[in-house]
Amino acid sequence: MKDPLPALLILADSPHALTDLCGISLLDRLRRVVRKLGFGKAMILSNSVEIRTKHAGQSSWYRGEIALKFHERKTEEVTISDVLDCIGATTLPPDGRVLIASARFYCDERLLRVLGDAQTESVLIDSDPPSVVKPFWEDSDIHDSDRLSCAVLLSREWLIGKDRAALLRQEVASAAVSGRIASVDAAQQPGYVRSMRRNIRPVFFPAPLPEHRAAAERLLRDATQKHVLDFPAIIHAPIENWLILRLCRTSITPNQLTFTGAMLGACVTLLYAFGHLWAGALLALVFGVWDGLDGKLARLKAQTTELGKREHILDYFIEMSWWTALAYHFHAGGQVRYAYALLIAFIAADFFERLARRSVEPKLGRSLNDVSRFDRLVRCVAGRRNIYTWLFTFFLLLGAPATGFVLLCCWGIASNVLHMIRASQIRARGWR
């Protein structure tokens, strides 16, 4: 989000703001999202400050927690006067902006980012809600004008020019219908998320009724799943999803899952190095499922951090330690005399493939695995940790683990060479 950030006002009324989705309330989810967007403080306007204060005090996850200032609302609905009273104690200049977000809604982080970056009065709308969220709207107590109440960016000057007794939602709805304030349409926002290698439609919807909460949670859970997967990951996905829907309601954190996964990975390395190939292979298969849990849980509960996004570096070193341990085992046992040469060629090919990716992916705006149908097909079977693990386990079943090691190295080298060729082709075609 661009600087300077607007002031932030969160509308949090009971009971909607306390609606639990995937282990956290809508209010706590909103606080985590705006913290990721760079907000360091926020005002909370509520019809029950006592409940809000208690809830906020019990829901502190983020290390750099937002400084909260609570304001109690005496009126039945939010008025212009309520908003002006909240921002009156701030240093917001007359032309300063305030982002007003309601905690009775789930709102995609990308929509709040776009709205916060707007330089003029803007309101969040959805001209064509996806069919999956329509029941949440139809069966709620949301009125037509309330559909514009999820998030709005206003200037202090705009607010001062309105009747203080007027309802905020009615003034915003009137201005939006007449075109006096701009609209940020969720249906028109880019859906492709490069880190997820897929299109994820940004949505917002009101707190779902109890009978719709399972559907809402499935929607949020499905949005955590990366696409363009290798074949083993396609098998892992349902298992991971089943585990995530249960882990999200516990106090277990993504970092704890990452640490446990690192311990599992280290055990695999030791087992391989000391020749316990079956135990190592079985634990490696478990690691393949476990490794996807921390990222999914972090995305589901809005707990992603910059450090967490670099967790793949740890995964890389764990993976390379496995193949190094196997090379040591097979070389020491005399089964593969050129094991270290194979390993060096494997690591070198992987290194140059990563350089090739970095040379094209930023300009493509998407993963090299997601450029064409051919690339997506290659991703299913190309050399990856899961593919290597399955391949090695298969040859272990056949009683030829040394052959499995040689083939996984050769398969990895061939896959990396193919990716480098594809990167060269894309560069030659002018990034199209």
Domain boundaries, the chain: 7-206, 227-428
Confidence band of 401 (pLDDT split at 50, 70, 90): very high
At which residue do the structure tokens 């996984």 appear? 408
| pLDDT the model gives residue 63 | 47
Q: Decide if pLDDT at 272 tops 90.
A: yes
At which residue do the structure tokens 């593969």 appear? 336
CATH classification number, 7-206, choose in 3.40.50.10140, 3.30.1330.10, 1.10.645.10, 3.90.550.10: 3.90.550.10
Give the mean pLDDT of 162-184: 88
Q: Residues 238-269: pLDDT tens digits? A: 999 999 989 999 989 999 999 999 999 999 99
Mean pLDDT, all residues of the chain? 87
Q: Decide if pLDDT at 60 tops 60.
A: no
3-state secondary structure of 38: coil
| pLDDT the model gives residue 90 | 64
| pLDDT the model gives residue 49 | 66
Q: Decide if pLDDT at 144 tops 70.
A: no
Share of the chain above pLDDT 90, in %: 43
CATH classification number, 227-428, choose in 2.130.10.10, 3.30.470.10, 1.20.120.1760, 2.40.50.1070: 1.20.120.1760
| pLDDT the model gives residue 81 | 87
| pLDDT the model gives residue 194 | 82
3-state secondary structure of 409: helix
| pLDDT the model gives residue 142 | 67
CA 109 from centre of chain: 9
**Cα 226 from Cα 251, distance rounded (Å):** 24
DSSP of 266-312: HHHHHHHHTT-HHHHHHHHHHHHHHTTHHHHHHHHTT---HHHHTHH
Q: Residues 3-50: pLDDT tens digits? A: 688 889 999 887 888 889 999 999 989 999 999 888 888 888 888 766
Share of the chain above pLDDT 70, in %: 91
Do residues 70 and 50 touch, judged by C-beta distance below 8 A? Answer: no
At which residue do the structure tokens 């499935």 appear? 218
* Listed range (369-378, 398-407, 419-428) with the worst mean pLDDT: 369-378
